[in-house]
Structure 1
Amino acid sequence: MNIDKLEIDKFTQRTQGMYRRLTDLYENLNTMPIMPDVLPQALVELGSASEIVSLATEELHQQNEELIQTRTLLEAERQRYQDLFEFAPDAYLVTDTLGIIREANHTTATLLKVSQNYLIDKPIVNFVALPDRPAFRSYLTQICECTKVKELVVRMQKRDGELLDAAMTVGVVRNQQGKPIALRWLIRDITERKQAELALLKNDGDLTQNRLWHKYCKGESISLNLSTLWYVCQGCVKLSTLCETGEEVMVGLAAEGMVFGSSLTMLHIYQATALSEVELVSIDVAEIAASPNLSHTLLPKINQRLRQTEFFLVIAGRRRVQDRFDQLLLLLKQEIGEPVAEGIRLSVRFTHEELASACCTTRVTITRLMGKLQQQGQIYFDSKHHIIFKDI
């Protein structure tokens, strides 16, 4: 039985009253002769006070035992959750709103090949691959505005320089006033999954076998119809539409190993143009429906186009032209970038007009932004005017 506040108040009042009466009795004994009835009364009062103190002491002792048991249970529960966090099969870490790591579990340290102590107080962006850092920083500045859990796929870099593909799930921790105070990160290594997808993307035997190859020169328009898909064997195709003002807007790129076709869009005006010399094979939509193997081979390629389309939507949603341009260059590096000694080279040459149409701005603006990047030493051009991103 616990002593509640009312009982404690009652006990305090009774004890204070007993103390006052005992004080009066003691003073009376010093100033007045002992009366026959005074001593028994004093003994009764002392006995009552002793009983109250004994009862309170017993109840306080019982309450203390219960508090010790509760504390033990809470400590065991805390340790259980700490173990769940520490030895979870996935990497978990907690950062502040700026991305500075405050907590990291054992799996995170193993994944990144560092000690747990090394991770503390380090910016999480330090473990993101260099080419992905600008986009990651941009993402980090916006995450605190989100009210839902967000997911992203990013390349991370281990301490020894090895890269891995990681799927991140990020949740925002808020205080009682709704202000963001921390970020929780769940990180999964999806390198093997990505490699399996790439293996499927490269499984072109069923797509090119016994099919007629079609060649288009740079700048040629490629015919489209609803009954067929085009598969790119070589080269790169620009997919675009026309806005109300008649200006062309780039909505996608189909590089080697990708598919495109009017059956994959709802745009009324949809055109495909060869950005380089292109070799294609056509695949009948009815054949895809009748062949599970063909459908299985094409599915990851269609997913690849879907992810690219979403990236173009993100580019279009940026308010600042600089941000749209930065995101476009990141997409181009991922889609058609090829490693060279100097850095990453785009396999296709783009005009300033084409880059402007992809990020909804003017050719003059693109020329200015390109000049700025050249002055900063971030890009330059090879002898064929292909963009090369300097490896810095």
Structure 2
Amino acid sequence: MTAPAESSRVAAVGRRWWRARARLGARGLAGQTGVLLLLSVLAALVCALTVFADHYAPITLLLVPLLIGSLLLGPRTLPWFVVFVLTLTVVAVGGRRLRHIEIMPVAVTGIAMVFLLGLIVLLMSFRRSRLGVAGIQGESMFVDLRDRILNQGGIPVLPVDWHVQSALASAGGTLFAGDFVVASRPARDRLEVVVVDVSGKGEQAGTRALLLSGAFGGLLGALPPDQFLPAANEYLLRQEWEEGFATAVHLSVNLTTGAFDIRTAGHPPAVWRAAGSGRWSVLSSEGPILGLIPGAEFHVATGVLAHGDAVLLYTDGMVEQPRRDIDLGIDRLVGEAESLLRGNFLDAAQRLVDALGSRNDDRATVVVHRL
């Protein structure tokens, strides 16, 4: 294919993309306009009911379209709808006065509630304008991002003699956490797994974890094992966050020979179970926290996973407790692993997360077992 022909093809694709984007934007605007009209009609009907059927329809009934509007309308149209509902509230009060209906103190309280909640919805719409979507759409986007971070930790398909499990629990039981897992199989005979603990906990660290999970996922599959943590460190330094640091443990294992490398960045050490003795031992490796020191170096711990061996990766939420040394927490983790996983690795990661760690901190665990 000649260069002009290639350029024409690219230009045609670009034009189709822009036309599709314009159509989607027009559909979105038309959808918002339709919802606004329907809600306006509903609010007008409710207003009429409060005037002509005052025994059955209190003025506070106008809160129903106001609430529905706060969920469905975007930040551009919601303020106008709030003003419209508040205007209808004034009209309803005036209509009752014209019909010589006495405004009771309870009704006055209801009117004040409509105006107060209208002001709250108005303030919420101004805050939401930074995102530019309606309430339900914003929640859907956030849930989609949450699902993406969880999918990043999905374990790729492995040979039949390898079994990898991961489990995650966040502080307070929410589904957003500062701990996350990224796994990749960049080559047929190599598995890469990273367990990361972002500074902060729960929802506070969730946004940073969402960004880092995508970035680390790209780095993990594109770089040799010894270059991943240095690249992740440089990436975090470029973000210049006030709390822009994280700890990580990175496992690279050859699925054919069982040889593995483990590198840590300010993270608790991995532990290794030798099938021959049935005991767990700590794999010491050193490296600074990610995002603090330019040009940091990360030392490696190596070994070979024989059949029946296992490696356990985890975050500090599994071993840290207030007023307790972390070494004691690691000893407890090893003891619990010996007890819980003796001869049975079914749901190993989840059982460890349920049994150990602080419920006030995020917890993540990965168990790599060679059958």
What TM-score, normalized to structure 2?
Answer: 0.27
What TM-score, normalized to structure 1?
Answer: 0.26
Relative to its length, the structure with more strand (as a share) is 1
Larger Rg: 1
Higher relative contact order (CA 8 A, sep 6+): 2
